[in-house]
Amino acid sequence: MANAATANPIPNKVGSGRACVARPGSLARIEMDDIQANIATDEDAELLQRYATGDPAAARLLAARLTPRMYGHAMRVLSDAAEAEDVSQEALLRLWRIAPEWRTGEAKVTTWLYRVVANLCTDRLRKRVSVSLDGVAEPTDPAMSAEERLQQAARLDALQLALNTLPDRQRQAVVLRHIDGLANPEIAAILDVGVEAVESLTARGKRALTTALAGQRDALGYTG
């Protein structure tokens, strides 16, 4: 397993296969409206094109933008920090390799990368004999009391355990929709299914999560 802290931060040249990886600092949900998403998409494609033409600094910037999102998705799906780190690094390596052939306008960089991450996660889930839950290091709000931080940690653990009970495709769809905040058409492209299938997967997954967490509302501090 490669470690993000020791990986070479800048590929030596296009297609060299050396990782440019930013250490994930947060698993927080990334939300943006349609205009912001379009701007980000253009910036991602522009950075990828700059790297493809020999600008290694562009790879550093693009990795810093995308790694936390890819790591966060893999972490929620795999429940394993080491595997999630491996998956996010492998996905970026594949992005660097195809950079010279990238055609702006045909697909979003994030959609392509999420699809690679989703496939890598699926491959790892299929190979598992058993699934264990590792601790997730979440950033803490300095304004929160010790009791509030403990309750937040309990909520995150409960959510992760509930996610682990979902079938693989449902889990992927729920994480992409309700945690990563992607729209159904983009999720359909990532999972290679129709929009109606995405709607069905997310609806069934959300119902299953609601059922799994229903008996824990009081213990987790939810009221009303």
Residue 209 tokens read as 């999560």
Q: Which of 19-23, 79-83, 197-201, 204-208 has the lowest mean pLDDT?
A: 19-23
CB 98 within 8 Å of CB 34 = no
- Indicate whether 23 belongs to any domain: no
pLDDT at 27 over 50: no
Residue 74 tokens read as 């893999």
pLDDT at 37 over 90: no
In degrees and rounded to multiples of 5, residue 9 shows phi and psi of -70, -20
**Per-residue confidence at 151, pLDDT binned at 50, 70, 90?**
low
Query: Between 21 and 213, where is the model more confident?
Result: 213
Q: Are residues 67 and 107 in the same domain?
A: yes
**Per-residue confidence at 38, pLDDT binned at 50, 70, 90?**
very low
pLDDT at 154 over 60: yes
Domain that holds residue 128: 31-133
The whole-number pLDDT of residue 52 equals 92
* Range 129-143 average pLDDT: 43
Q: Are residues 99 and 64 in the same domain?
A: yes
Domain count, the chain: 2
The whole-number pLDDT of residue 14 equals 52
* Residue that terminates a domain, selected from 133, 158, 184: 133
* Tokens 């990986």, residue located: 7
Query: Between 36 and 97, where is the model more confident?
Result: 97
Which residue(s) pair with 107 in the sheet? 104
- Indicate whether 177 belongs to any domain: yes
The whole-number pLDDT of residue 217 equals 60
The whole-number pLDDT of residue 195 equals 93
- Residue 94, number of CB atoms within 10 A of its CB: 16
Cα 190 from Cα 37, distance rounded (Å):
16
Query: Between 104 and 145, where is the model more confident?
Result: 104
Nearest to 69 by CA among 159, 173, 181: 181
- Residue 5, number of CB atoms within 10 A of its CB: 8
| CATH number where 175 lies | 1.10.10.10
The whole-number pLDDT of residue 147 equals 66
**Per-residue confidence at 163, pLDDT binned at 50, 70, 90?**
confident
Q: Structure pTM? A: 0.63
Q: Are residues 188 and 118 in the same domain?
A: no
Query: For the stretch 8-45, what's the b/e string if a residue is b when 16 or more beta carbons lie within 10 angstroms of its beta carbon?
Result: eebbeebeeeebbbbebeebeeeeeeeeebeebbeebb
* Residue that terminates a domain, selected from 94, 118, 133: 133
pLDDT at 61 over 70: yes
- Residue 70, number of CB atoms within 10 A of its CB: 29
Residue 53 tokens read as 């033409």
Q: Are residues 149 and 220 in the same domain?
A: yes
> Chain-wide mean pLDDT for the chain?
75
* Residue that terminates a domain, selected from 88, 105, 133: 133
Q: Are residues 123 and 48 in the same domain?
A: yes
CA atoms within 13 A on the CB side of 100: 7
- Indicate whether 10 belongs to any domain: no
- Indicate whether 180 belongs to any domain: yes
